[in-house]
Structure 1
Amino acid sequence: MTNAQASHNGNNLRYERGLAKLQQIDGEGGVKVVESLAGIAPDFARLLIEFPFGDIYSRPGLDLRSREIAVVAALTAMGNAAPQLKVHIQGALNVGVTRTEIVEVIMQMAVYAGFPAALNGLAAAREVFAVDAPVGEPA
């Protein structure tokens, strides 16, 4: 096997591992993000699967629940990543983070990132919770 073949096989494994992890966390939402990039930047879509999900999310040091809490905090603190924050709030719910925990994480960011960032994060959470409301439960 040549180095190029080994590299290609390694990238395929990263991609497959990353796609499985993305689907585990974000379900259809994550797949839609990747599909939306296919027409403009398919290489970027592949990198988005391989590096964050195939390499980082697949590491053994943290469980997916802890990783999603960290991502919700980071995206909230950025203050300018509402679409990504919504995807990861849904991902956090998918891996067992409660609505109360998500709200508390976002509120915590007011201390470090400011009230505007936390307010934007809470607005994103409200939108996700409204769509994700269980039948018979108010959003």
Structure 2
Amino acid sequence: MDNERYVRGWAKLKEVDGHAGEQVIASLSDIAPDFARLLIEFPFGDIYSRPGLDLKARELAVVAALTALGNAAPQLKVHITGALNVGVSREEIVEVIMQMAVYAGFPAALNGLFAAKEVFAKHDTLSCEPT
């Protein structure tokens, strides 16, 4: 793909989600390559690339939204990792997820907190591996 939206989106995806984002795109290559392209072009090429919010604010918003949905644990984990990648602190992630208890209920917030716990533990393990 060489259109401007795709190139811009691919760069933003790598900046935010790194290897996890690349894995999501790769996992779609055999079933829905056009959907993978749309994921790169629209959310990352068009929305994430807008100047109105920095990446930290965008990722906090996504963590909040996915937590509130309550049925998107795999995507929530990817975006918690993305939030860490762009400089959001663990405390900020936990606070945003806890805030969702007010609007989405305790079950959604609990699911979000457990997803965060899993991501944090994996992040710690990866940080300790020799390079």
| Aligned-pair identity (%) | 76
Give, in whole Å, the separation in 2 of the partners of 1:46 and 1:23.
14
Q: State the partner residue of 1:53.
A: 44
Give, in whole Å, the separation in 1 of the partners of 2:5 and 2:26.
18
**How many angstroms does 1:15 deviate by?**
0.3
**Which structure has the larger Rg?**
1
Q: Unmatched 5+ residue regions in structure 1?
A: 1-7
**How many angstroms does 1:95 deviate by?**
0.3
Give, in whole Å, the separation in 1 of the partners of 2:4 and 2:20.
22
Letter in 2 for 1:112: Y
Root mean square deviation, CA, Å: 1.1
Give, in whole Å, the separation in 1 of the partners of 2:98 and 2:68.
10
Give, in whole Å, the separation in 2 of the partners of 1:129 and 1:62.
25
The equivalent position to 2:106 in structure 1, one of 112, 115, 118, is: 115
**How many angstroms does 1:81 deviate by?**
0.2
Paired positions, count = 126
TM-score for both structures, normalised by structure 2 = 0.94
The answer to whether residue 69 in structure 2 is matched with residue 69 in structure 1 is: no
TM-score for both structures, normalised by structure 1 = 0.89
Q: Unmatched 5+ residue regions in structure 2?
A: none
1:58-104 alpha-carbon deviations (Å, 9 max, x no partner): 00000000000000000000000000000000000000000011000
The equivalent position to 1:19 in structure 2, one of 10, 29, 52, is: 10
Letter in 2 for 1:113: A
Higher relative CO (CA 8 A, sep ≥ 6), structure 1 or 2?
A: 2
Stretch of structure 1 that moved more, 125-134 or 29-38: 125-134
Give, in whole Å, the separation in 2 of the partners of 1:65 and 1:104.
14
Give, in whole Å, the separation in 1 of the partners of 2:40 and 2:16.
12
